[in-house]
Amino acid sequence: MSVKIPPCMVCGKAGIDLGKVAGKDIVLCSDCGRMLLPKVKALVEASAPKRPAKAVERITPKKFREIVIASVEKRGSLNVLDAAKRYGLPAEKAREIVKALADEKGWQLEEAPRKLKIKKPA
């Protein structure tokens, strides 16, 4: 009983059978596969359908303030910078609105790198 090792399609060294494409056996060795990988990735990316960019729903600062109030009342806390990004409001404007709300309603602010959380006191 002998084991057949198929030859690489490119260089002829011992290869790995990758299956059939259009009725032909595809066999590559690891060296040729490594060389072809970037080109195959580029081909897949180029042939993939492009997704249209999701439009950001832009709102007024007054409407954003109402959304923040409703979310905090309902859930107890809100990550303000994520919400500002979702609704197309600049982070600085969102900070101003939230600081005013915290003073007005007695809510707490928690700041961390890239996060600003507003929540009801415990």
Does the pTM surpass 0.75? The reply is: no
Domain that holds residue 80: 61-119
Residues of the chain with pLDDT > 90, as a percent, come to 68
- Residue 68: give its domain's CATH number: 1.10.10.10
The DSSP string of the chain is -----PBPTTT-SB-EEEEEETTEEEEE-HHHHHHHHHHHHHHHHHHSPPPPPPPP----HHHHHHHHHHHHHHHSEEEHHHHHHHTT--HHHHHHHHHHHHHHHT-EEEEETTEEEEE---
Identify residue 45 by its one-letter amino acid code.
E
Q: Are residues 67 and 22 in the same domain?
A: no
pLDDT at 45 over 80: yes
Total domains, the chain:
2
Q: Are residues 18 and 43 in the same domain?
A: yes
pLDDT at 49: 85
